[in-house]
Structure 1
Amino acid sequence: MSEDDALVDEFFSEVNDKYYPQVMEGIELLEGGDIAEGIEILSRPLHTIKGVTGFMAGFEYASGFTHKVEDFLKKVQAGSVDRSSDNITLLSRAVNMIFQVIEQLKEDGVPDETEPNEVLDKIADASSGDGGEESLAFDGVDTEEKNGVLVLRVKDARVHLAAQRELLVSALLKAEPGGKVLVDLSTVLTFNSAAWDTLISYSEAFEISAVGLGPACKEVFFSWGFDSNITLFPDEDTYFKSVSN
């Protein structure tokens, strides 16, 4: 293993074990209305990520993107950007996208700049005083009726924001009262406790199960005890075999 490979491995170990949990804590505070404390917590990992990726060959784009997000965070903190709910949602989305960018660089070596550029355009508008009114675009949830079950296929890689939870609820309410609902998270990297809580709040109205959980999703799912209300299956085939018996 080269020194560069060792640096990348060490960095991503820190991302998963330290920086990402800090960022999730900060975002949950933002969403809960404790903006000052949320920004304070976010500042530390973002500053470190910006600096470290700047020294990592191939990750310069992540450093530049993080720098622009950090600047936006500082403007919100200083009050030069209005702390409207739309701007706070934009800030949360931008912070989440940092992790999407660095994961993409690790896996593919090049970023897909389409969505980051969209976010940066919104940041520029908000910073100039023209932003904050347009709804943020998310991939959302696809629904499918299959063998009497409403299947919800969550398409966003990270589900942490109130707007995403609203999309999840809108899809969930397409089920018949008392009906079976299967939540497919096979393309989701992280699904925070607030998103699970949203599903739990409907577990008495619907019989909710889940499939396709990756490591981070499983960690939150089991550590918070959500398995007491939602049944987890290893895959969709196993689920449908169980409901057909």
Structure 2
Amino acid sequence: MSDDPMVEEFFSEVNDKYYPQVMEGLEMLESDDVAEGIEILSRPLHTIKGVTGFMAGFEPASHFTHKIEDFLKKVQGGEVESTSENLILLSRGINMIFQVLEQLRDDTVDEEEQEELLALITEASASGQSEETVSGAGVDVETRDDVTIIRVKDPRVHQESQYKPIISAILFIEPGDSILVDLSQVLTFGSTAWGALASMGSTFKVAACNLSSDAKQTLYAWGFDDTITVYPDEDTYFTTQ
């Protein structure tokens, strides 16, 4: 595969552009600047996953990168705690992406090492949430000036049991009505939860306020701000309506 011009062009991009970006992101993880490090890492990983998916013979690299990217997003969204052990595991997985690329290029793939790492990632992902966190504390609902305010009571919203009360509350509201989701009690709000909320945007006018920095970062990283309007607080929302 090394004689393929597309492969050579891709590896040139990897060496000159993507690998330096990844190294910068990994250095930030090591210095405990986790949020910024993940933000930097997200872009090259997403590109590598997409490009290798269309390169004959490199599809396994795309699949592997997808699994590492998924773990990265779980750490970013708080679904997996950013402990030193999990960050080391994440760094190891990201470094292995480049190892897998080189192995595929040389036709010397070590699937056993990949499977070992992915098993550790699966274990870390499964233990990322405590039973208390997953249970779901629900929501409080009130109406102000014809706007339904949904106040989320869970400190972490990632699992279906945690964001389902929000969606259920919305389904009791008349289509086209305005909704304000108050996240003042929420520390992290996962991408899956944002996606479920954004899916309501075609039927309702959805806004959110009092977002933590982590919740806001996940919202913008996934582009859900195209559907959900963000306000700093409840009063600002009502004064701008």
Q: Which runs of 5 or more residues in structure 2 are unaligned?
A: 130-241
Aligned residue identity for 2:76: Q
The equivalent of 2:195 in structure 1 is none
The structure with the larger Rg is 2
The alignment status of 1:20 with 2:19, answered yes or no, reads: yes
> How far is the alpha carbon of 1:48 from its aligned partner?
0.3
Contact map agreement 2:49 2:62 (CA 8 A) in 1:
yes
Aligned residue identity for 1:13: S
The equivalent of 1:102 in structure 2 is 101
- Structure 2: how far apart are the matches of 1:48 and 1:125? 26
The alignment status of 1:124 with 2:99, answered yes or no, reads: no
What are the superposed Cα offsets for residues 121-161 of structure 1, whole Å, 9 maximum, x if unpaired? 00000000179xxxxxxxxxxxxxxxxxxxxxxxxxxxxxx
1:114 to 107, 112, 116: 112
Query: Post-superposition, which runs of at least 4 consecutive aligned residues in structure 1 deviate over 2 A?
Result: none
Contact map agreement 2:80 2:128 (CA 8 A) in 1:
no
The equivalent of 1:38 in structure 2 is 37
The alignment status of 1:86 with 2:97, answered yes or no, reads: no
User: Structure 1-normalised TM-score?
Assistant: 0.51
- Structure 1: how far apart are the matches of 2:98 and 2:112? 15
The alignment status of 1:7 with 2:6, answered yes or no, reads: yes
User: Structure 2-normalised TM-score?
Assistant: 0.52
Q: Which runs of 5 or more residues in structure 1 are unaligned?
A: 132-245
Root-mean-square deviation (CA, aligned residues, Å) is 1.9
Per the alignment, in what secondary structure is the counterpart of residue 4 of structure 2? Answer: helix
The equivalent of 1:173 in structure 2 is none
> How far is the alpha carbon of 1:34 from its aligned partner?
0.2
Report which structure shows greater RCO (CA 8 Å, sep ≥6): 2
| Aligned positions, number | 129
Contact map agreement 2:25 2:36 (CA 8 A) in 1:
yes
